[in-house]
A and B are shown apart, each in its own frame.
Chain A
């Protein structure tokens, strides 16, 4: 960043953000970088921190899913038909079969451990959401910066392409694309193929949201004095793009990728709900909800995966909103 607040030890720093250590000593006033200031603001925002803590918790759950289910449950695809009432196909015990062995109860029909399936569902959900977001952030940033910086024909073509993407009936397209790929393709098969496919579909369709924002920011950054200064010192295009403009785009990139992750979690859940995402028996939250449609008499069956989606998306949204307030205090939202 261009960090205008890095000048330390002057009276100018006696702004409210500066902290006085000791009682008016010589080295009492500390300068803070923009990043530090943003971090301080973020730490004060309790709601955003709660979101962040939940996100970290989720990531840990996803990474240690086998350990957690090993300690507290059963393998996610193991059948427990002794828990199922053969007449109703629902769980034998009341409350959906919730007990100390089955923390969230069992699934109707096969009696799989719902807790393990929700835990494993976090893996798929986060994996796809993270990688799809990364893909769209990379495409969106590169094209957005190029369009904003070079302008002219380049800008026109890229902007038109963004308009086309934004006007596409995304869900229908994504469903269609996820549906036509055969079970074995591109040298991959099974879950790996579906995961790669979903990452590409979701990432490829959501880049224009970031691209537009980055383009707009680049357009205004390009006219700033420090870019003129760099140019008059003899800097060339690539240097200006990567060393002068890109560092100033870190904040919007960070904010909008945090806010894109929950959208992508919902996107993946929707595709799996419709039966074109990850194929069963692999556990996904969307897939579990679509099974739950037929068993509305067993409400816990829709409650746990649904709440898992809701809390995940909410946590990311809270954290993203907090991040935006911290990094861009002028935005009134």
Chain B
């Protein structure tokens, strides 16, 4: 168990290192291929109105003229031990974990991201609870009543669900349930109230995004669960369980569902990690001030340090979530540890 744990941890660290290299290359190597010079890139730090000499000086001072590998090392070092930045108006210290300063607001990126995290986490956790319950329950019932009216209806809805983009269903639900509805209730989903402030308002405002997001995921999970259940319920050990006289309920839940759920858990780990790293589409549709909205606003404003910060945070969540899932497997299923 300990060796397995260590091996998985090393794997996770290597993964994060690779992601950091890719992230760095996207922002510092790809633009060079596309024809930007180091001075062009430094200009963004000092503002577009800066003169050519100022940009040249800034490029030197911020180290854009150094080899890419040195720049990468400096960026990684800043994340672990912090860094001192000099934009020309004196030295500012950015303590670890330092993802640099925003081009626009000149504020460090990390505290900003921490502020946004609760919004994304609230959205992701609430939606995950709904979609897991709804999706798995629908899938199991569909599989058990294969070919019935319920099965066909549920699978048609699920197929429609996986074919719908959230930015369409989100807009439609906003129009139907908040802006244009006959009851004129205040628009839920367009504001965020922190949980500590008022849990009831928090939940009310998030209800629409939760349901919209959960519907799309539930559709996919229902299809997966149904397929998994159909496969496991046809296995020999299910027949054995029935033959030894176990009640049907226990056959379905303890033997069938348990085996069918393992692949679902893997996918759930990835999906949930991805959502924590920014539910970009949902947050943009419902104007929620979460990590994803932060990222997309930063990209449109060309504010690179913010974008890099979000990418690394998102990658961290995905890697962390899949690590947790793997460790859970090792606890539940002894075969995993040996392979």
Instruction: Report A's interface with B, CB cutoff 8 A.
Output: 163-164, 166-173, 175-177, 179-182, 184-186, 262, 266, 269-270, 273-276, 286, 289-290, 292-293, 296-297, 299, 302, 306, 309-310, 313-314, 317-318, 321, 332-333
- Nearest neighbor of B285 in chain A, beta-carbon distance: A293
Return chain A residues, CB-CB under 8 Å to B33: 185-186
Cβ–Cβ contact B318 & A169, under 8 A: yes
Shortest CB-to-CB span from A166 to chain B, Å, is 7
Known A-B contacts A169-B274, A286-B167, A296-B174; A185 and B35 likewise in contact (beta carbons under 8 Å): yes
Cβ–Cβ contact B171 & A169, under 8 A: no
Interface residues in B246-304 (C-beta closer than 8 Å to A)? 270, 274, 277-278, 280-281, 284-285, 292, 295-296, 299-300, 302, 304
Between A and B, 9 residue pairs with Cβ closer than 8 Å are A167-B319, A172-B292, A176-B26, A176-B308, A180-B304, A182-B35, A293-B285, A321-B159, A332-B231
Cβ–Cβ contact B26 & A180, under 8 A: yes
Question: How many angstroms from the CA of A309 to the CA of B22 in the assembled complex?
Answer: 31
Task: Provide the B299-336 mask, 1 if CB < 8 A to any CB of A, else 0.
Answer: 11010100110110011011100100000000000000
Q: Does B36 interact with chain A (Cβ within 8 Å)? A: yes
Question: How many angstroms from the CA of A262 to the CA of B161 in the assembled complex?
Answer: 13
Question: How many angstroms from the CA of A171 to the CA of B291 in the assembled complex?
Answer: 13
Task: Provide the B21-49 mask, 1 if CB < 8 A to any CB of A, else 0.
Answer: 01100110011011110000000000000
Cβ–Cβ contact B230 & A332, under 8 A: yes
Give the contacting residue for B296; candidates A175, A310, A321, A332; CB below 8 A. A175
Cβ–Cβ contact B171 & A185, under 8 A: no
Cβ–Cβ contact A296 & B167, under 8 A: no
Shortest CB-to-CB span from A297 to chain B, Å, is 7
Return chain B residues, CB-CB under 8 Å to A177: 26, 30
Q: Does B165 interact with chain A (Cβ within 8 Å)? A: yes
Cβ–Cβ contact A332 & B160, under 8 A: no
- What's the tally of chain B residues with a CB closer than 8 Å to chain A? 58
Give the contacting residue for B270; candidates A166, A286, A296; CB below 8 A. A166
Cβ–Cβ contact A179 & B299, under 8 A: yes
Q: Does B96 interact with chain A (Cβ within 8 Å)? A: no
Number of A-B contacts (CB under 8 A): 150
Cβ–Cβ contact A309 & B27, under 8 A: no
Q: Does B107 interact with chain A (Cβ within 8 Å)? A: no
Question: How many angstroms from the CA of A313 to the CA of B219 in the assembled complex?
Answer: 14
Max chain B C-beta neighbours (<10 A), residue from A172, A302, A306, A314: A172
Give the contacting residue for A164; candidates B15, B168, B226, B299; CB below 8 A. B15
Give the contacting residue for A266; candidates B165, B278, B311; CB below 8 A. B165
Return chain B residues, CB-CB under 8 Å to A313: 163-165
Q: Does B238 interact with chain A (Cβ within 8 Å)? A: no
Question: How many angstroms from the CA of A180 to the CA of B103 in the assembled complex?
Answer: 14
Return chain B residues, CB-CB under 8 Å to A286: 165, 167
Interface residues in B117-172 (C-beta closer than 8 Å to A)? 159-160, 162-165, 167-168, 171-172
Known A-B contacts A181-B31, A318-B159; A270 and B281 likewise in contact (beta carbons under 8 Å): yes
Max chain B C-beta neighbours (<10 A), residue from A168, A293, A309: A168
Max chain B C-beta neighbours (<10 A), residue from A177, A273, A292: A273
Return chain A residues, CB-CB under 8 Å to B302: 179
